[in-house]
Structure 1
């Protein structure tokens, strides 16, 4: 597709040429209302981007994305309640499922979906995330790390008190009580 293409097939896209990057003629402008409305979240939707990125760029992207994702997952797991409610469990199950389908790297997304099937959670969530992280590290030939102090390493020190009244209404709580109970952890 070049930037002069105005066909109906590409009506939802605004073509923006980048002088710096000659390999990529155009990209999807996700700020354009028509483009945003038509974004598909299937694995095929990332293949266009994959084809425009060279192997070195793709590997660097995977590393950066992977590191950021593991940081997020470990931090979420460190802050996950010691005694999660059914709502907490449902939300985390949905979150993990969504990540495994929406992850920007299709190959990684497929690996994650398979790993979630092959390794369902059996321990507390932070230990589970540590275990699946070590499975990935082993597959990639990276060293495994100890799961013993994983919570202390990734605990962000954030207060888990939830003062948002909208969440309280959504959870059906009354009297200003937060559905999320504070968890005290020491670093």
Structure 2
């Protein structure tokens, strides 16, 4: 059984079908299964012994201090808020000696823009893809995006929470 499994893996590797997963596995023990044609993973496998870090949901900090407090104008549109939220997350991870590449799961809570009455999913994706699936940072988390009625801060259109993993030291 072990020999046939090894031969199967070798065949898949030579065909280039497992290269992204095995490369990630070889580096830090985390196996990411990327989705076809979309910048998320469909599954992430975390090895025993790795530390799991749960970050609280984060929205954008105020972008325009001259705008009314807790207003949409103070925080910006969905793309602006997503980018600012991801920057905050990156800062919190850095304090823990982690990077965005260590994020394995993400939940994005979104509110419809009151001006358009619609979610700005494309705006969120423009900011998201600046951090995930790039040549500099190719690791993709599993991710869910939710439409919600409102967030705690009435000026927020987005709040993001992530789970990161500190790989096992070798």
TM score, norm. by length of structure 2: 0.31
Structure with max Cα Rg: 1
The structure carrying a bigger strand percent of its residues is 2
The structure carrying a bigger helix percent of its residues is 1
TM score, norm. by length of structure 1: 0.29
